[in-house]
Amino acid sequence: MIVCYLGPIGTSDYRAVDLLSTVVDPEPLPMSSVAEIIQTVNYMPGCLGIVPLEDSTNGELTTILDRLIFDADSVLIREEVVLVEDICAFGTDPDMVITSVVSHPLVLDLCSQFIKERGLAMRHAISTAEACRIVVEEAGSGLVALAPPRVGESSGLQVNATEVLDTPDLRTRYVLIGSEVAPRSGDDKTSVVVTPSVDRVGFLAEVAARFAKHGVNMTSILSRPLQARIGNYAFHITCEGHISDPGVQAAMDELIDFGASVKLLGSYPRWKGIEVTTPSSLLPLGSVDSASTLEERARLKQPRAAANYV
Query: Containing H/E element for 109?
Result: helix 105-110
Global pTM reads: 0.83
pLDDT score of 221: 94
d(CA 31, CA 5): 6
Domains present along the chain, CATH in parentheses: 2-84+172-269 (3.30.70.260), 87-168 (3.40.190.10)
Q: Give the CA distances from residue 53 to residues 47, 57, 78, 81, 250, in Å, rounded to whole numbers and listed in that order.
A: 19, 12, 13, 10, 28
d(CA 6, CA 142): 30
pLDDT score of 146: 96
Query: 238: closest CA among 201, 199, 264?
Result: 264
The secondary structure of 180-225 as a DSSP string is SPPPP-SSEEEEEEEEESS--TTHHHHHHHHHHHTT--EEEEEEEE
pLDDT score of 24: 92
CB of 145 closer than 8 Å to CB of 102 = yes
Per-residue pLDDT of the chain (310 residues; tens, 9 = 90+): 899 999 877 778 998 999 999 999 999 999 999 999 999 999 998 899 999 999 888 889 999 999 999 999 999 999 999 998 889 999 999 989 999 999 989 889 989 999 999 999 999 998 888 999 999 999 989 999 999 888 899 899 999 999 899 877 788 999 999 999 999 999 999 999 999 887 778 888 999 999 999 999 999 999 988 876 556 889 999 999 999 999 999 999 999 998 899 999 999 999 998 888 776 777 788 888 888 888 888 888 777 665 565 5
pLDDT score of 290: 85
